[in-house]
Each structure stands twice: as structure tokens, then as C-alpha cells.
Amino acid sequence: MALPALKFFPRPRELTLRGGWLPVPALPHPTGLFIKSLPTNMDEARAALTRATDGACRIVHKPERGAEGYHIEILASGVRLNAGDAHGVLYGAQTLRQIAAQYPEELPHLEITDSPDLPVRGFMLDISRTRVPTQAELLALVRALGRLRVNQLQLYIEHTFAFRGHEDAWKDASPLTPAEVRELDDACEALGIELVPNLNTFGHMERWLRHPRYRAMAECPEGWIHPLTGQFKEFPGTLRPDQGSLDFVAGLLDDTLPNFRSRQVNIGGDEPWELGQGFSKQAVAERGKHRVYLDHLKKLCALATARGRTPQFWGDILLEDLALAQDAPADAVPVVWGYDAGHPFKEQCGRLRELGRDYLVAPGTSAWQSFTGRLDNALTNQAEAVGAAVRHEARGILLTTWGDNGHHQPWPTAWLPMAAGLAQAWGFAANAKTDFAAGCAILGGLGDADGQAVAAALHQLGTLDGRIAKANRNKSLTWDFLTAKPDALAKFTDGVTPAELAASQAHLAEAEALVARIADAPLRAELSLGARLAGAGLKRAAGQPVSAEEQTKLKQEYEAVWLRRSRPGGLTESTGLLFG
């Protein structure tokens, strides 16, 4: 028999085919039993390391393989999996099962050496911008992330946890309960994933500060001017940097942290837009915005440290003034984020490396504020981020997917970026070219054929934006076309030609034909709806209003699709933002 054509996801660091085959006779033959009984969770992996190591097929503890590393040999004499730790056992077992699935009757003689490029391979999902997934959906995500070798998960929370005594902030949000968090934590622990609490504590507090009960804690209780757009914002979003805010945050941490095993917490801290416009105006005038920010950040980090947690925080304000980076709390972990192709990850990572900081790098899936995804931007952004993280010895990555302004995107539009970014975080060079079909099969729980069909459809959908030369940062024009208020639509259509709109519609028609080939009916409906919402945006951009009847039909479909994956809280708000 010729040498096998093996497929792996993610691809291992080194693979050598030796020629020859090891038969796998029917059960109860020991080789078949070994493959069948390979560990599927951390408890089984830890137990495997303590067993006697005799036998033709065996798992052997080899600490020299390093954290999460493993080495596989399949020879005429049997199968040996050498692993540095229980994570290595689990990942090596995944690789062996992939081999056995492709060649169930005889295993090819080979040698595989594998270990991660980055110690932390994290994923963060925004569950605060209207959409909170069902518990079943979150548990399915955990199982998929385990197969993608993610070892850290964060669920971004502003108000979507059932904080005791704060029902007015979350009563309509379908929040996670403490029992649900503990169930998710158990599921993550079983697969070697650290569920890190993520709770914003400075900016992005709109969901709290819009309520009269909390308004006095705001930097600008009566509203504020956005520094980037010049727009007046009625509801404040930034806590004032004072002791009252610190006491409030301390109470939220005390209510949240006991539900997590993790000894870390992401305290957020990004985009305190109003800082210096209200309560802190004099302090900012005297000491500067960055110093006022950093002084308060230190106090927030101290709250986490006092509770036995290592704080993580978004590093955007810090990196605006790199001279201050060295003054950030030494025990805190900055998260360098940027979601555009061309973001200066190399320079920022290089600076933090010079300072000897532990840090994470956060690219994005580019799925938010879009109905179809922005695939080209996502793939470039992620490759630049992971490459910089590897070169400059970052602790790892935290791949993010957000839900700005309604969380309208179909969940699968994040799958191709997730497959690429997370595989590259495991092995950057080995996974430079991504097997998108395999990634979709894992994330969607699909068979090979539907994995291929979904990947083809998502690729076509994700490249829709490229038909129009004009682009808006961090969102798709087709999303702007549909969601813009009537008096703002011209701003987005200005400079877009009829030929570009026609090319976009033709591209979308090809995507819908690919979506129609997907066998999984709920998934097909989800992507079809995303395509038709983008199409409605193109129609509106061409000067053809979306009729009331068409809007009603699309809203009804949107609600039905939403409820298959997500809780009802936030649905009305999200739907209300669809048609400007």
C-alpha cells in the first residue's frame, strides 16, 4: 500500500512516515482496545500517566516533552504515546484518534512530534451585547474548543451575570446564573480549559449606568460627547475613578469569582471614553488622562490581587503612552488588542517584551457588525497577531469575537477565523494554511461532507466585502446599508458605484447557492438569513426601500434563528436595530 495521505487538525509540528502498517484486528485485540480506550478528558489522561508502561501499546510519562507536548510512534511493535503531562496525553490521544478514523483497519508506521508554540491559546466570546447563548450552546462550544486545543475561555460580561441584589441591571438579559457558571467551569476543567472570569470594571458600564440607581457613579451622569464621533451620548458608560466605584466593583467581584476555579480575572478597563469630561476633569487637567487612568487601574488590579487572582486588563490606554507601560502593576497581564489588518502588533509586543512583561495578544474574528463576516481582514489580522506573539514571546493569544450594536452576525461566520487563528496559535508554521472544512466540522459537530459545504459557503459569504472598494473600520458596509438610519444612509453609500452593488449581489447569489447545499437544516437557515439580510442592505443602498412586509418576514426569521442558539434576553433590542 502507498504511503497514506493523512489529515490532521491542527497539524502537528513534525510528521515522519516510516512505511509499513500496523494491523488493528477486531476487538478484543489489544491494539484496537488501546485505540478505543484513549483518554477523552483530563481525569482519564492523568490516570493514564500513572499506569504501568508495559505492553505493545502504551502511554508513557516523559516530562522532557514539556508542557502539553507529546510524541507518537506507530511501528510494527505497537503504539507508544509519550507525553509531557496530562494535556499532552489528551492532545496526543486526539491525534491518534484522527489517524484511526482515517485508517481504522491498519495504522501507518509514523512518528509525530508536537507541542504548542504559545502556552495560552484563548478564546473570548462577548455575551453582553444583547446575545447570551443557551447553556447547551455554551457546553457545545466548550467541547469544540477542547478539540481545537484551546486552554483558556473567557465570556465577556458587563451585566449578563445574575448578580445578587442587582436584578434591575440584568432582569431582561437572560443572564448566566451561578449554577450555570459552575457547570461550565466543570466542563472546561474536564477538557483542560481554564474558564477565566471576564468582567468589565471601568468603561463599557452602560448597562449599569443607564439605571437611576447607579447613575451617580458615572463620570458623566448627564451624558457625554464621544471623542471620536463628536456625538452626544445620553447614557454614561464610564465609572468615575473614585472609592465608591471601587467598592461597587469589589462587590461584583465577590459575587462572581467564587464560581470559577481560575486564579485569574480579566477586569477589562478598555475605552473609558468619558474620562476627563466630568468627575475627573480637574485631575486629568492636572495630571493627564493616562496617569489618571493608570492610577485607577492600579486600584482595580489591587482588588483582584486581594482576592487571590492575577488580573488581566485590556492594554489600549496603556499602549497609547508606552512610557507608562512600565508603570502598570507588575503582577497584572496586559492584553494587547487590535482587530484591523496592519495593526502594529509587532511594535507593541516588542515594547512589552523589552519590559519583561507577561502579556496576551488579542486579534479578532472580524465577524461582528456584519451579516456575512469579514474573512480577509480576520485572517490577516490573526496571522499578524499570532506571528508577533510567537516572535516576541507573548504568553499567548486571546482570540475575540464581539457583538457590537446588536450582535447580528450568524454564529458560524466566526468559524473560519476561529479555525485559522486557534490552529496557528498551536503551531504557527505548521498551520499557515488552514483546513477550514475540518474546523467547521469540529465547531458545528458536522460530518466531513457538511464541513466542506459549510466551509465553502462561509468562504464565499466572508469575501463579500471585497466587491466594494470603500470600507468602514470594524464592520461591513452591507451591515451599515441595512442598519443605518435614513438620514445617515447617504454617508455609507457615497462613493459606492452601481457596478459594485451589482457585483456584490452576484457574489451573494453564488453564496446563497452554496448555502443551499448544506445538509444541516438549522445551519442552512442561519446562513441563508445572514445572506438575505446582507442582500436587503444592498437593495437599500441601491435606492430600493425594504418593504414593511419584507422587514416583518426577515424579523420573524431572525427571531426563530436567534432562539435556536441564544436566550430570549436581548432579542427585542437586537431585532429593533436591524432596519435603521
179-213 per-position pLDDT tens digit: 999 999 999 999 999 999 999 999 999 999 999 99
The mean-pLDDT minimum among 309-323, 328-342, 559-573 falls in: 309-323
pLDDT of residue 200: 96
Find the mean pLDDT for residues 78-85: 97
Given a contact cutoff of 8 angstroms between Cβ atoms, the answer to whether 67 and 119 are in contact is: yes
Is 1's pLDDT higher than 60? no
- Alpha-carbon span 323 to 351, nearest angstrom: 10
Find the mean pLDDT for residues 497-505: 98
pTM of the model: 0.97
Find the mean pLDDT for residues 324-331: 81
The residue count for the chain: 580
pLDDT of residue 580: 84
Find the mean pLDDT for residues 369-376: 98
Given a contact cutoff of 8 angstroms between Cβ atoms, the answer to whether 106 and 23 are in contact is: yes
Is 325's pLDDT higher than 80? no
Residues forming a β-bridge with 60 = 82
Q: pLDDT-derived band of residue 469, with 50, 70 and 90 as boundaries?
A: very high
Q: pLDDT-derived band of residue 4, with 50, 70 and 90 as boundaries?
A: confident
Q: Please state the φ and ψ torsions of residue 486, each to the nearest 5 degrees.
A: -50, -40
Q: Is the dihedral of CA 212, 217, 223, 227 positive or negative?
A: negative
Please name the residues in contact with 378: beta carbons below 8 A apart, sequence gap of 6 or more. Answer: 363, 364, 365, 366, 367, 416, 417, 420, 421, 462
Residue 337, classed as helix, strand or coil, is: strand
| Domains by residue range for the chain, with CATH | 14-114 (3.30.379.10), 126-204+239-266+296-433 (3.20.20.80), 456-576 (no CATH)
Is 317's pLDDT higher than 80? no
Q: Which of 279, 305, 300, 311 is nearest to 197 (CA)?
A: 311
- Alpha-carbon span 375 to 412, nearest angstrom: 12
Please name the residues in contact with 362: beta carbons below 8 A apart, sequence gap of 6 or more. Answer: 124, 314, 335, 336, 337, 338, 385, 397, 398, 399, 400
Q: What is the DSSP letter of 23?
A: E
The mean-pLDDT minimum among 347-356, 398-407, 534-543 falls in: 347-356
Q: State which amino acid sits at residue 179.
A: A
pLDDT of residue 334: 94
- Alpha-carbon span 57 to 35, nearest angstrom: 9
pLDDT of residue 322: 67
